[in-house]
Amino acid sequence: MDYIIEMVNITKEFPGIIANDDVTLQLRKGEIHALLGENGAGKSTLMSVLFGMYQPEKGVIKKNGQEVKIHNPNDANKLGIGMVHQHFKLVHNFTVLENIILGVETTKNGFLKMDKAREKVVALSDRYGLKVDPDALISDITVGMQQRVEILKMLYRDNEILIFDEPTAVLTPQEIEELMKIMKELTQEGKSILFITHKLNEIKAVADRCTVLRKGKYIGTVNVADTSKEQMSEMMVGRKVNLQVEKKDVRQGEVIFKTQNLSVKNKLTSKMVVNNVSLNVHAGEIVCIAGIDGNGQSELVYALTGLIHPDSGTIELKGKDITQSTIRERNIGGIGHIPEDRHKHGLVLDYNLAYNLVLQSYFTPQFQNHGFLKYDEIYKYADTLIDKFDIRSGQGTRTITRSMSGGNQQKAIVAREIDRDPDLLIAVQPTRGLDVGAIEYIHKKLVAERDEGKGILLVSLELDEVMNVSDRILVIYEGEIVAELDPKTVTVQELGLYMAGSKRGADK
């Protein structure tokens, strides 16, 4: 069998951890090959070796049967290998076009020649149905669009082997469908795709074959058509995983949190991004705000947590008006917040794990005395949380958070927020980019909090999560709550219609 890419017996080590332990991966020409594994299983590391970002300690890489040396991403590009990273590598104050040609610009007498580049980008964009505006600034476009820019970057460089690292973690259901279509079209054009994911539905939808890694080791390669989701998840986690969320019926307590007529204006356009939102959360229930990305969820959460001030309306926690309260007052007063962007708002990536676990409480008497931190207390506390929430890292409390896998970074935030015992937990995309094992774990934690009589406000784009975890669904569209639905009676299709703004199938 001819393989376009073979990675043979690859071993890659980091301090305290073997990320890839003798892994072999073979990609056929024109196939979509999924790479499946839990967070920290070594998927991204293996792909970073192929893309030249890391050098393996052992093993060889072959292209079309010939051994090749890939010292850096430029070598990878020359071999026709391109990669869309999980956290996009885009320059935010550049336009789409500038980002696409970055590093392969055509210049004449020191000036950029953009005309040919623009033509090529527009032609590629049309050919693959990517619908990208070349003049838009990256900072102004949605995450889904940013991802398309990353795909165009690869196509612009005529890459034939395309690596997608968790490409759907930040997309809406509609965008995911579009991406799947684009991936199939790319392989019909003769491209070969390596697709890192832990979403079994997506593997079933597009992949031809699937290679499974667990804790850095190669578990096996299967034909997707002949393998069930349950079999794949068991290969991935090493045990049977319950793909359904188990929870008892809701026991609603009193209203612990409410907003009335809350509005937030966009400072630049003066457009209302949150428009007259009134909602309440009872003790002992999970209320989910469902919507397509970019419909005001982020701004609503910023207003509720104190990151921005609303332009009008009020916010109450346990009967007390907190509209003007500071972030710290809200945190101490009983709000926990799992933010949507764990890197930007959840963690200080260059701090170690212990410091990140006390970010919300380092100023309390438990951890400081007259302004001096009690290091022993901080590390002791961090050890108990690592144990209690099963946070895995190479060097325990002293691990620099940046080096941890996404799932374990997320677990650290969940541990920190839940352990503070908040009355209201605002969880925004809490399982974004996580694998089935970690998702199952976080869902269990949310349900356990609810059963202890806490209020949970969940903001999610994942339809499965919305339907499985919530007790009530509020649909947000263009900054307004357009429907309150019962997950027991509403269908996914119906929910999708509300989210897309076409109220109900029957109204049309």
Residue 402 lies in a domain: no
Residue 313 lies in a domain: yes
Residue closest to 330 by CA, chosen among 453, 424, 456, 449: 424
Count how many domains the chain has.
2
Are 144 and 171 a contacting pair, CB within 8 Å? yes
Dihedral Cα 197, 202, 203, 208, nearest 10 deg: -120
Assign 209 to helix, strand or coil: strand
In this predicted structure, what is the pLDDT of residue 503? 58
* DSSP states of 22-86: EEEEEEETT-EEEEE--TTSSHHHHHHHHTTSS--SEEEEEETTEEE---SHHHHHHTTEEEE-S
Judge if 233 and 98 occupy the same domain. yes
Residue with tokens 């229930």: 285
The domain boundary, picked from 206, 237, 268, lies at 237
Residue 497 lies in a domain: yes
Residue closest to 465 by CA, chosen among 203, 243, 249, 143: 243
Task: Report how far residue 48's alpha carbon sits from residue 152's, in angstroms, rounded to the nearest whole number.
Answer: 20
Residue 480 lies in a domain: yes
Of all helices (H) and strands (E), which one includes residue 272? strand 272-282
Of all helices (H) and strands (E), which one includes residue 96? helix 96-101
In this predicted structure, what is the pLDDT of residue 506? 36
In this predicted structure, what is the pLDDT of residue 115? 83
In this predicted structure, what is the pLDDT of residue 347? 94
The domain in which residue 151 lies consists of 3-237
Judge if 261 and 158 occupy the same domain. no
Q: How many CA atoms lie within 13 A of 304 on its CB side?
A: 32
Judge if 86 and 170 occupy the same domain. yes
Judge if 119 and 228 occupy the same domain. yes
* DSSP states of 220-249: EEEEGGGS-HHHHHHHHHSS----SPP-PP
**Residue-by-residue pLDDT tens, the chain, 508 positions:** 689 999 999 999 988 788 999 999 999 999 999 999 877 788 889 999 999 999 999 999 999 999 999 999 889 989 999 988 777 788 888 888 888 888 877 777 777 778 888 888 888 888 877 788 888 888 887 777 888 888 888 888 888 999 988 887 666 667 788 888 889 988 998 899 999 987 788 899 999 999 999 889 999 999 999 998 888 888 888 877 666 677 888 888 999 999 999 999 988 788 899 999 999 999 999 999 998 777 899 999 999 999 999 999 999 999 999 999 999 999 999 999 999 888 888 999 999 999 999 998 999 999 999 999 999 999 999 999 999 888 888 888 999 999 888 888 999 999 999 999 999 999 998 987 677 777 888 899 999 999 999 999 999 987 778 888 999 999 998 899 999 999 999 887 788 778 877 654 334 3
In this predicted structure, what is the pLDDT of residue 486? 93
Judge if 232 and 259 occupy the same domain. no
Judge if 145 and 291 occupy the same domain. no
Task: Report how far residue 329's alpha carbon sits from residue 416's, in angstroms, rounded to the nearest whole number.
Answer: 17
Judge if 83 and 232 occupy the same domain. yes
Judge if 456 and 485 occupy the same domain. yes
In this predicted structure, what is the pLDDT of residue 362? 93
In this predicted structure, what is the pLDDT of residue 505? 34
The domain boundary, picked from 210, 237, 264, lies at 237
Q: Supply the CATH number for residue 200's domain.
A: 3.40.50.300
Residue 437 lies in a domain: yes
Judge if 118 and 216 occupy the same domain. yes
Assign 192 to helix, strand or coil: strand
